[in-house]
Structure 1
Amino acid sequence: MSIHSIKRDQCHLAWDKSIEPVLWIQSGETVTFDCLDASNGQILPSSNSATIGTLVFSQLDQVCGPIYVEGALPGDTLQVDVIKLETADWGWTGIIPGFGLLADEFVKPDLKIWKLVRSNTGDDYGYAWFDEAKGIKIPLKPFMGEMGVARGVEGQFSTIPPYNTGGNLDTKYLYTGSQLFLPIETEGALFSIGDGHAAQGDGGTAIETPMKVTVRLTVRKDRPYTRTPHFLFQNPKAVTPQASSSEEFYCVTGVNADIREATRAAARNMIEFLGVEHGLSRTEAYMLCSVTADLRMLEVVGVVYIKSWILAHVLIQVRTFRWTCQTTWCVGLCLTVLIWVNLQALQIGMMIPRSIFQRI
């Protein structure tokens, strides 16, 4: 099967089905992308906090592509197999005024440049020291923040938020070995990718880094229920410590600026998946979701203006190890938090362990 390559300068800054493809491939072929970081090369290893003030925001979050996949038609699904991810030896995390959940409290720009100590031993990708003196060490788990296909409507759409067709998913479970399923809305799918992350929590800010990524793109005609991004992944210790090392999880998503509607959409999408793939009635699927499915707040994307009040129930667990600091966010019914946030889009995921099905 052919392996194709896309260079850093073969990129664009909006989702737009009128953009000319940079490559035409057959379904099932493999493409390697050499992607700049989310700053589009504006931040360098030598940069400091002052660089944040000079960023040209219209140049952020570029994506490489688009790729035209032969045979892809509206109503089909594009399966994206993540084959290989390779970070640079550095990355950055920034506080950008006006962005983030606590933008009103963190008003000064700041920038941290990370040295990434890479490894290629099994599932060990290496680490980065946050503060060596304090013993805070971050394990690397690279993934691509942006993966999507062109929307079916006319016009240019920002690469900042997620859409039903993908985009800025910022989902940490899309690491090597995972499969992403995207609903196709335009002929050829027009797939693009970018925004390499060396590590990130659910809904958080990442260690941004240039990335080389290899994916296989396959058109699926047998998944009419793929209406939002779905994905399949293993190594679920980040999901539940009780899971076995080889257990697979299937996740559907709901994308909406309202947390309740995003959650309801995720539930409906899981119910439809269980009905089609496992022959369950809607009632059976609904009950199964409440018994075994987990909800995750995968991403919160902010904009400049306040859009809404959100009353959310959030369980926050912080686990600190001797050499590793790890924070896990999950949706629960433990602590009521009133959040006044500038929301453009919020992505809720509902995932289910495949091991409960004896015939897969």
Structure 2
Amino acid sequence: MDILEFTPEPDEYAWTFGGKPPVRRVKPGTALRLWTEDAYCGTIRSTADLASASLQMPFVNPQTGPFHVEGAEPGDTLVLHFVELTPARSWGVSTTIPFFGGLTSTDRTATLQDPLPERTWVYDVDSANQTVGFHAQSSGLELALPLEPMLGTVGVAPAAGEARSSLVPDMFGGNMDTPEMRAGATCYLKVNVEGALFSVGDGHYRQGEGESCGTAVEGAMNVAMVVELLKTPGPTWPRIENDEYLAVVGSSRPLEDAWRAGQVDMVGWLGELYGLDKLDAYQLLSQISEVPLANVVDANYSVVTKVPKRLLPGTTVYDGIHQHLRSTDLS
């Protein structure tokens, strides 16, 4: 298996999905070892560093990529399997940011409330025990939380020549911020432009469902992944498969429209897999779905519709490519 190693220089970061030429070309079947910078571009390193003084819009959420996948054509299915996600630093950072987050006034939900105070938390990474350390600032509470690395952003170039901010999730993927995007997961995305032009980034050392305050434990990440390509119709919304679940990520505003997007796509997916008509698939989904919130803070909200494989015995999707890629050894 060919292995490409790539660490971007700061002038090579992508700040959008679409609108940027590829940094490298890869063939289907290629493994990649990548480094991604954190959402703050590494500018916030201590509790004294505040987001308003450290961040410069639109230069947040830097992406590693885009990568041109040889042979990828509009309508195809791009397959991205994540083998390993490993913190690239011994610390991660989370913040409150003025007019950003799920429980404060925002630019879209305007009120007369003052913004929440800014604050920065630094989490120590304990690699030996696989934990990150939470330290309260108003009391002596300290907690060792499980280290659960994930990627906040995975996406391809949008259709119709669009360039979308790396802060936005939509049909092309992007800033979905779902903990489902972890090692062992396979992501399926519809190719919109020649070469797909996919990028990844926004590493989180852990994140709760919903990303309530707008930031996870943000950190630079070492990413090991495999790229594949299927000449089958790509999904309308990003799909994720792991050993236990099939999932769809819908993104929109208001929140219920993000939920609807994922539900409709999963109805279609179940129909494809089992030859069900729309109402049978709708009925089945109503009894087996799990629906965690991914984010309620980004430019679009993201909601995950999951169905457990244990309730769908014998399920094989995309010709079993997830099971095949799970055996990948990059050591």
For Structure 1 versus Structure 2, the TM-score category normalised by the shorter chain is: 0.7 to 0.9
Query: Counterpart of 2:236?
Result: 227
Contact 2:188–2:234 under 8 Å retained in 1: no
In the TM superposition, what is the alpha-carbon distance from 1:155 to its structure 2 partner?
Answer: 3.9
Contact 1:95–1:106 under 8 Å retained in 2: no
Q: TM-score w.r.t. structure 2 length? A: 0.85
In the TM superposition, what is the alpha-carbon distance from 1:225 to its structure 2 partner?
Answer: 5.6
| Counterpart-to-counterpart distance in 2, 1:31 and 1:39 | 23
| Counterpart-to-counterpart distance in 1, 2:170 and 2:266 | 18
| Counterpart-to-counterpart distance in 2, 1:262 and 1:50 | 31
Contact 2:152–2:202 under 8 Å retained in 1: yes
Return the structure number with greater strand share: 1
SS of residue in 1 equivalent to 2:130: strand
| Counterpart-to-counterpart distance in 1, 2:141 and 2:51 | 27
Identity %: 28
Contact 2:51–2:97 under 8 Å retained in 1: no
String of CA shifts for 1:115-163, please: whole Å, max 9, x gaps: 11114xxxx7333233594353311100111111001122431111101
| Counterpart-to-counterpart distance in 1, 2:51 and 2:204 | 20
One-letter amino acid matched to 1:149: V
| Counterpart-to-counterpart distance in 2, 1:347 and 1:51 | 24
Query: Counterpart of 2:313?
Result: 358
Q: 181, 185, 190: which is aligned to 1:183?
A: 190
Query: Counterpart of 1:86?
Result: 86
| Mapped pair 1:111 → 2:134 | no
Inter-CA distance 134–41: structure 2 relative to 1 (3 Å threshold): closer
Contact 1:225–1:272 under 8 Å retained in 2: no
Query: Counterpart of 1:61?
Result: 61
* Range 58-67 or range 130-139, more displaced: 130-139
* Range 131-140 or range 161-170, more displaced: 131-140
Structure with more contact order per residue of length (Cα contacts < 8 Å, sep ≥ 6): 2
| Counterpart-to-counterpart distance in 2, 1:51 and 1:225 | 38
Query: Counterpart of 2:172?
Result: 165
Inter-CA distance 137–106: structure 2 relative to 1 (3 Å threshold): farther
Inter-CA distance 135–92: structure 2 relative to 1 (3 Å threshold): closer
| Counterpart-to-counterpart distance in 2, 1:127 and 1:154 | 40
Query: Counterpart of 1:31?
Result: 32
* Range 260-269 or range 166-175, more displaced: 260-269
Alignment coverage as a number of residue pairs: 299
In the TM superposition, what is the alpha-carbon distance from 1:228 to its structure 2 partner?
Answer: 0.8
Q: TM-score w.r.t. structure 1 length? A: 0.79
Query: Counterpart of 2:291?
Result: 295
SS of residue in 1 equivalent to 2:127: strand
Query: Counterpart of 2:150?
Result: 143
String of CA shifts for 1:200-258, please: whole Å, max 9, x gaps: 01121300011111111111223x26111110124xxxxxxxxxxxxx11111222112
In the TM superposition, what is the alpha-carbon distance from 1:106 to its structure 2 partner?
Answer: 4.7
Q: 129, 132, 137: which is aligned to 2:134?
A: 129
Query: Counterpart of 1:174?
Result: 181
Q: 218, 221, 229: which is aligned to 2:228?
A: 218
Query: Counterpart of 1:243?
Result: none
Inter-CA distance 49–102: structure 2 relative to 1 (3 Å threshold): farther
Contact 2:186–2:240 under 8 Å retained in 1: yes
Contact 1:196–1:209 under 8 Å retained in 2: yes
String of CA shifts for 1:72-127, please: whole Å, max 9, x gaps: 111111111001111021010011111111223653211111111114xxxx7333
Contact 1:90–1:209 under 8 Å retained in 2: yes
Task: Name the Cα RMSD after superposition.
Answer: 1.8
> Structure 2: 5+ residue runs without aligned partners?
106-113, 316-331
Inter-CA distance 155–358: structure 2 relative to 1 (3 Å threshold): closer
Contact 2:169–2:300 under 8 Å retained in 1: yes
